[in-house]
Amino acid sequence: MSALIVILGFITLSKAYENIALRKPTYQQYPYTGTEISPSLIDSSKAVDGLRSNLTFWGGQCAISADNKTTATWWVNLNCILSIHHIMIYYRTDWNRWVGASYGLIARFLGFSLYVSNTTHISDGVLCFKDTNFTTLTLYDGFLNINCPVHGQYVIYYNERLAGVTYPTDYSIYAYSELCEVEVFGCPATGFYGSNCSIPCPDPNCRYCDIETGACQGCKPGYQGHHCELGLHRYVLNHMRITI
């Protein structure tokens, strides 16, 4: 009974916010270049096409990266800065249960990072998640639910296997980004918060507010202050008085 409750709770949580990544522009650093499958069936857009019923290489629903690379980057462009609550990642499983070190797809997934940024560079972003704990013996399911209550335009998946760095023995030799679906749940418009994104940010001049509490996290252009209560001219004058 407890397992059923957890599953139902998970479904409710996922439906509370809109998938703002659905069919948005995407990019993959090193697309797969093998000739045995059409590139259109495994390109970067497959990770946001809304399909995750076939998590296999041949299913036409996964973005597959190239072999023998030391870094793997994939991102989705939300088209503007939006408020994010959580992110679901469905990884390639090829319909097999991930059991121990005998299943190589787990090793490719280990050690990845997830960023939210206003640019395509991870150095400009917020680190939402960095895998430092999973092993081939602990990561069994083909999906992860990552809480990430921040604002940003790009959700970036990144993994690496750099020369000169010693990685855990479970890790693959090369880096991959075999993503079958990336669902970014949040608000489709700025200036709102709450589980249904229906509550306006309390401060009228606030551009971005916390998706759960409504606390202002960024003012509209021309405003400053903790509650965006000061026009830019007034803010500058007050700052000059304090400095003097």
Residue 213, helix vs strand vs coil: coil
How far apart CA 108 and CA 65 sit, in angstroms, is: 11
Superfamily assignment of 8-186 in CATH?
Galactose-binding domain-like (2.60.120.260)
Residue 2, helix vs strand vs coil: helix
Quote the distance between the C-alpha of residue 151 and its chain's center. 11
Q: With residue 192 as reference, give the H or E element that holds it.
A: strand 192-193
Phi, psi for residue 107 in degrees, rounded to 5: -60, -30
Q: Please give the pLDDT value at position 57.
A: 93
Q: Amino acid identity, residue 92?
A: R
What is the DSSP annotation of 85-145? EEEEEEE--TT----GGG-HHHHHHTT-EEEEESSS-GGGSEEEEE--S--TTT--SSEEE
Q: Which of 194, 192, 198, 136 is nearest to 168 (CA)?
A: 136
User: Are 42 and 30 in contact, with CB atoms under 8 Å apart?
Assistant: no
Tokens of 205: 């001049």
Give the side-chain half-sphere CA count within 13 A for 44: 17
Tokens of 123: 């150095």
Tokens of 185: 């749940």
Phi, psi for residue 184 in degrees, rounded to 5: -110, 110
Q: Which of 119, 118, 183, 122 is nearest to 151 (CA)?
A: 118
Q: Amino acid identity, residue 171?
A: Y
Tokens of 242: 């304090």
pLDDT tens for the chain, 244 residues: list them.
Answer: 333 333 333 443 444 799 999 999 999 999 999 999 999 999 999 999 999 999 999 999 999 999 999 999 999 999 999 999 999 999 998 876 544 444 678 889 899 999 999 999 999 999 999 999 887 666 656 789 999 999 999 999 999 999 999 999 889 999 999 999 999 999 999 899 998 999 999 998 998 999 999 999 889 899 988 888 887 544 444 544 444 4
Residue boundaries of the structural domains of the chain? 8-186, 192-243
Backbone region of residue 169 per phi and psi (left: phi > 0; alpha: psi in -120 to 50; beta: other values): alpha
Q: Please give the pLDDT value at position 140.
A: 57
